[in-house]
Each structure stands twice: as structure tokens, then as C-alpha cells.
Amino acid sequence: MPTAIEDFNLALPMQHSARSETDLASLVAQYSGLLFRVAHSVLRSRSEAEDAVQDTFVRVLEHQRTLHSIRDMRVWLVRITWNLALDRRRRIRPDQIDDLFAATLVNPGTPADEVLHEAQRMKTILREIDRLPKKERQILLLSALDELGTTELAAVTGRSESAVRALLFRARTRLRTRLEKGASA
Amino acid sequence: MNNSDQDLKRILNALRDTEPPRAMQQRVLASVAQREAMPSRIFPWSFVALAATVGIAAILAINVMPRGAHSSSEVTVLPKPSVSQVAVTVPAPQPLVPHASAKAPAGNLAAQTARRPHQLLCDCDPTALAEANAPSMPPPELPLTEQEKLLRRIARHPNPVEVAELTPAAREAKIAADNDDFKAFFTPPAKAQAPE
């Protein structure tokens, strides 16, 4: 059982192109962290996010013959991971996972009588994020990772850069409005 | 910045700062390597198609083969029965006086006793068949007629009246004698001559 990345010899059988990006081990080493955060922003579970990353690289293995036609590997992997994470979130029970994730967001110094209230507030925000329109939610979560620029976000979502900026603004405004309305109600 | 913005910023920062689990890369590579080691999807279908073709060919070959080619190995050879075994298969003779409840005709009974050994024995032993199909000795008796049944009942319970019923002439004579006696008893006596 190999323990180090260097022990794996999973060079993809590319006949026409010998680019280093097609080496699966290097792909995993380069993009697994980003893909994990992308999946975690949707799933909010570390184990589920890791499974989504594994599924992503299995897809890479299945499409190894067409990898040479992919122009931007980073964008392509993020898009696959996002879609796989959405599919996986439909199969799991998000409420229980959000409870656990909201509990980790509570400040450690919070008094015991306010912990439950703060966790409930975090869970409300997570629920409002999920209620956002599909593209706005995607732009909001991916931009929060601070690893994808506007150009890459535009490539991932299939929109223009100006549309990405507009979607991000609308997402924040809509979320703020809903949260204020929920707090006043 | 109000509380909602602060909470939203905290959530987005938490999502940004999430670190992947330790040794996740090794696990991902191991799972991908395991997936790569699995046989391709084409192999099972080709194997199934080949197996199905061989099976169909085998079935056709078995059906085309002549029947006599495999009869010697499939027919069960029964041992030749001895005399004692044949004697066991022959039914016991019926009693001379049948039971009153025996309503079956003699022909059917003989046919049944003749069929049973034929069903039990195979065609490969003519001696046993001849012994089994031989007529029973003595043959079963015919049922009694109504007169025979009446005679048997009279013999067991003798009654003079019934005996007379069997002989019309004696019966007529007895009736005539009874009438004479009746008349002789009830006939008024002749009037005696009065003395002067």
C-alpha cells in the first residue's frame, strides 16, 4: 500500500500529449485542496466533501482520452466537483449536517446559554444561502473561497465577468434583505 | 456592519479556511488506482456473450444427437427377479365365500389383479410377466342370485310357512285343508228327529 504521492504511478496514457498536467498524481496534488473546499462549501461535511473529490478524479480517469481537449483544467475540475457535490447533497440529509457545521461556527468563548441561540442563527443563514437562486449561490460560495478570480468564475458559471459581478452583488443584497426581514419578524 | 453581515462573513470565512483532511490525497489516489485496476466494462459483456453462444451451441448439439446414442448409459437395468420374488408379486387367491360387502364384479377384480403386476414389473423379464398375468386359481366366484340368497337365509332360519311358499302345490293343498277344517268346525249340526 503506497503511502506517499510519489509512490503512485498513475500517469495517464496520453498518446498525443505528454503534458505534465495529465499526470493524475500531479493533478491531485495541485487541485485536491481547492476541490475539497468547493465541495465543502456545498456539502458542509468533510467526509462527504472528500468523497466528492474522489468522484471527481474518477471522472478524470474516465475521461482520460479527452483530457487533451480541455483548455482550462482548473475550471473543468471545479465545475465537475460542484455538480457532483450538488448531486450528493440531494442524497444526504442536509439538516443534520448543517447542525453539526453550525455548531462549529460558534465562538469558543460564547456563554453556554447563548451557544444554542448562536448556532440557530448560523443555521438560519445557511438555510438562506441555500434558498438563493442557483447562480447567485454558486457565485457567492465560489467567490468566498478567494481562489478563483472573476475570469475563472465566469468560465465556471458560463457567464460574463460583468454578469458575475452583478450576480455577486445581487446575492449579497438578497441575502441581507432576507436576514433582516427574518430578524425583524 | 450589523450582526447578519458579521455572521455571513464568519460563515464564508469558515468555508474558505477549511483545510482538507490529512492524507486525503493518498486516499484519493488509492481509490482512483483501485478503480483503474478494475476490469473494463467491455470485458464482462464480451464474456457473457461468449458464454451464451457456447451454451446455445451445446443445447443444439444435444438435441441433434440421435436418441440411441445415449440410451445404453441412461436406461436403468433391473436385476432379473427370482422365483420367490415373482411369487410375492402374484396376488393371493380370493376366499371361496365372498363377503357380503363385496359388490365388485368378478371381471373387474380379475382385471385389476392382472394389471398390477404389469405395472410393477418391467418388460425385460417375460417369465415374471407370464407368472404375473396367469389367471388366478381358483377363479373368483360369481355373486349369489336372489333365490340363492333366500335359500341361504331359510337354511339358517327354517320356517314351515316359507317352505310352503317354495312349493306352490303343497301350499295349495295346505290352504285347502285349512278351509275344510274351518268349515267342519263351524258347520251347524243336522237337526235331530223329534220323538213322538
Segment A21-34, tens digit of pLDDT: 457 888 899 899 99
Q: Are A67 and A81 in contact (CB under 8 A)?
A: no
Mean pLDDT of A127-146: 92
**Any idea what the Cα angle at residue B36 is, between residues B31 and B39, rounded to 5°?**
125
What contacts 24+ positions apart, CB below 8 Å, involve B50-53? none
Instruction: Please report where in the chains the cell 355373486 appears, as a residue.
Output: B143
Q: Are B32 and A10 in contact (CB under 8 A)?
A: yes
ipTM: 0.80
Report the C-alpha gap between B183 and B181 in whole angstroms.
Answer: 5
CB atoms within 10 A of CB A83: 14
Start-to-end CA distance of chain A, whole Å, equals 57
Which of chain B's residues have a Cβ under 8 Å away from the Cβ of A110? Answer: none
Q: CA of A137: which chain B residue's CA is closest?
A: B12
Task: Give, for A50, the enclosing helix (H) or strand (E).
Answer: helix A46-62
More reliable by pLDDT, B179 or B141 = B179
Maximum Cα–Cα distance across chain B: 182
More reliable by pLDDT, A148 or A3 = A148
A21 closest CA partner among A53, A79, A60, A62: A60
Report the C-alpha gap between A76 and A50 in whole angstroms.
Answer: 18
Q: Are A125 and A118 in contact (CB under 8 A)?
A: no
Report the C-alpha gap between B28 and B89 in whole angstroms.
Answer: 80
The pTM of this model reads 0.54
Segment A60-93, tens digit of pLDDT: 888 877 877 788 889 999 999 999 999 998 888 7
Residue B105 has pLDDT above 80, yes or no: no
Residue A159 is placed in which grid cell?
457567464
Residue B12 DSSP SS3:
helix
| Chain A residues whose C-beta sits inside 8 Å of any chain B C-beta | 1-5, 8, 10, 24-25, 28-29, 32-33, 36-37, 40-41, 44, 46, 49-50, 53-54, 57-58, 60-61, 104-105, 121-122, 125-126, 129, 140-141, 144-146, 172, 175-176, 179-180, 183
Report the C-alpha gap between A83 and A51 in whole angstroms.
Answer: 13
CB atoms within 10 A of CB B51: 10
Q: How confident is the model at residue B99 (pLDDT cuts 50, 70, 90)?
A: very low
Q: Is B4 in contact with A180 (Cβ distance < 8 A)?
A: yes
Residue B147 DSSP SS3:
helix
